[in-house]
Amino acid sequence: MTTPSALERPRGVPFTRRMTARAVLLPAAALSLLPPRRIRAVLEVARRGARPATAAQAKNAREAMCAVSLRCAGPKGCLPRSLGAALLCRLGGTWPTWCTGVRVVPPFTAHAWIEADGHPVDEGVPDDYFTRLITVAPTSRPTGR
């Protein structure tokens, strides 16, 4: 017997934003198949030169990914969703903090998400609900002349 469930897909995502999200969906899905150290290496290169993403920018990117992909909108789509949202932010010149980790309380569950301003974006959990194992944060720019 199965339990019925319905996925909430965001509405009101502009057409151009949805098309851009579709463009990063395939690279995000391919990236999600790599081992963690390779994902981190690719994301560390991708983040170069980007400004830190605001909470609104990160939320818009996450919503766009969920709007174009049922997998990303689903409960097991956290890795491609977070990778796609990070890449989508990067196309706009910003970078959220990309995180992967585990749930603090049992049962053990791995998860991937993005953060902005030190808080998970649209995860619906407290800030300390997950323990971060890998993070790729925006780089700080040098303040030289």
Q: pLDDT for 5-21, tens place per residue?
A: 456 777 888 899 999 99
DSSP state of 145: -
Question: What tens digit of pLDDT does each residue of 60-117 get?
Answer: 999 999 999 989 988 889 999 999 999 999 999 999 999 999 999 888 899 999 999 9
Prediction pTM value: 0.89
The residue written with tokens 């909108």 in the block is 73
Burial of 42 (0-12, 13-18, 19+ CB in 10 A): middle
